[in-house]
Amino acid sequence: MNENARLRSVMNLTQTLIDKAESYGAHNYHPLPLVLRQGAGAQVTDVDGKQYLDFLSCYSALNFGHQHPVIIRALLNQLQKLAVCSRAFYSEEFGYFTEELAAFTGLEMVLAMNSGAEACETAIKIARKWGYEKKKVDPNQANIICFENNFHGRTVTIVSFSTDPAYREGFGPFTPGFKIVPYDDPQAVEKAIDKNTVGVFIEPIQAEAGILVPQTGYLSQLRNICDKHQVLLMVDEIQTGLGRTGADFCYQHEKIKPDLLILGKSLGGGLLPISAVVGPRSVMEVIRPGQHGSTFGGNPLACAVARAAIQVLKTEKLSERSLVLGKKVLEKLREIQSAQIREVRGKGLLIGVELEPSAGGARKYCERLAQEGVLCKETHDHVIRIAPPLTISESDLFRGIEKISSIISET
């Protein structure tokens, strides 16, 4: 590096902040080289004042965009009253939140946690306990059926049934009690079920695995299999829920109901973490006082934000919006003429563009797109994930899609 270049980089705020993060932050992520300062709706601005369209939406935690004014107002309003009080007491917000989320999902009871992984762990605990108490499974022999390429978070138990070596290597010993079968193959599930099976734990679209959309009818077939064998259908809608796929919940495309519904990400309105497991009373009642908990789970601030998030989803008709815009985006992307594209797939505004291995990986496309002012993130090497906020204006959406089209076509 010559002296001028060195001085430029020393004076460059972006580089300084990246250097700090790389020096003092553990290297558990590999971010694109930009440093964000502000966001509003679908737009974010970096510390150099450059603007971008956010087509990642924090992996679907930002279905409502950045800093949604109605949700911010709910947060500020609650912040001035009561933020945190533990579940040792009832709070005003908790009662309203559980009632409204139960009504919104058409299920009966809510268990609130903070992160998505915690909610998945909670669902596993509930399913096991239900198995021992209600299904009379042999003591300590419960098993849950999971899927190849699943993603449910990063705790030791959850990575115990991951099939991605990067998520597992060096983290053993693992939690037993999981059987892994291929995704999108109902017979494989039925074959794996035995008398100690308590749950089938599934993502209705495998988003982290590269936006893998199963065949139509798959979930309803699983519903029937679970009913037949008295097994809980546990649906992880942390990423697909709250409008992302063009319905309030992705399972609604198949007109079924899960036994345990797991929510997170956008439930926090894009402002803070809150997650939940929702299910029927007959299942949820197996958890009694003292058997499970979380200090911050169901805190009034998070409950107020989640209530506002559900309200915004309804009043702005974001699920319908996602459905309509998603169809248009799929059409546009399918028009791209490029030998580098293997497949374009998705539902609503959860879309993946899978590139041929010869394209050299999706990362370099995401880097080029960032230079052009569109933020996407590769998932599983060869897929560009497109998941803008559901509130994005049509003009911003198609401006971004144009950029994606031109960058893919120029290679």
Ligand X SMILES: *Cc1c(COP(=O)(O)O)cnc(C)c1O
Q: Which residues bind ligand X (CB under 6 A)?
A: 59, 115-117, 120, 151-153, 203, 207-208, 236, 238-239, 264-265
The least distance separating ligand X from the CB of residue 237, rounded to whole angstroms, comes to 8
Is 348:355 a contact under the CB 8 Å cutoff? no
The least distance separating ligand X from the CB of residue 405, rounded to whole angstroms, comes to 27
Catalytic residue selected from 265, 347, 377, 403: 265
Question: Does the annotation mark 151 as catalytic?
Answer: yes
Query: For residues 183 and 359, which CB has a smaller minimum distance to ligand X in the complex?
Result: 183
Query: Across-strand partners of 179?
Result: 145
Catalytic residue selected from 55, 64, 94, 151: 151
How far apart are alpha carbons 268 and 261 in whole angstroms? Answer: 16
Where on the phi/psi map is residue 2: left (φ > 0), alpha (ψ -120 to 50), or beta?
beta
Question: Does the annotation mark 236 as catalytic?
Answer: yes
Q: In what order do the strands lie in the sheet with 374-375?
A: 36-40, 43-46, 51-54, 374-375
Write the single-letter amino acid at 394: E
Query: For residues 152 and 377, which CB has a smaller minimum distance to ligand X in the complex?
Result: 152
Question: Does the annotation mark 184 as catalytic?
Answer: no
Q: What are the tokens at 80?
A: 């001035």
Query: Across-strand partners of 243?
Result: none
The least distance separating ligand X from the CB of residue 205, rounded to whole angstroms, comes to 9
The least distance separating ligand X from the CB of residue 338, rounded to whole angstroms, comes to 28
How far apart are alpha carbons 275 and 399 in whole angstroms? Answer: 33
Chain residue at closest Cβ approach to ligand X = 116
Query: For residues 296 and 341, which CB has a smaller minimum distance to ligand X in the complex?
Result: 296
Write the single-letter amino acid at 105: T
Write the single-letter amino acid at 210: G
The least distance separating ligand X from the CB of residue 157, rounded to whole angstroms, comes to 12
How far apart are alpha carbons 279 and 112 in whole angstroms? Answer: 12
Query: For residues 41 and 264, which CB has a smaller minimum distance to ligand X in the complex?
Result: 264
Query: For residues 129 and 265, which CB has a smaller minimum distance to ligand X in the complex?
Result: 265
Query: For residues 152 and 385, which CB has a smaller minimum distance to ligand X in the complex?
Result: 152
Catalytic residue selected from 46, 54, 236, 396: 236
Span between the terminal Cα atoms of the chain, in Å: 30
The least distance separating ligand X from the CB of residue 309, rounded to whole angstroms, comes to 15
Length of the chain: 411
H/E run at residue 181: strand 178-181
Is 390:246 a contact under the CB 8 Å cutoff? no
Residues known to be catalytic: 151, 236, 265
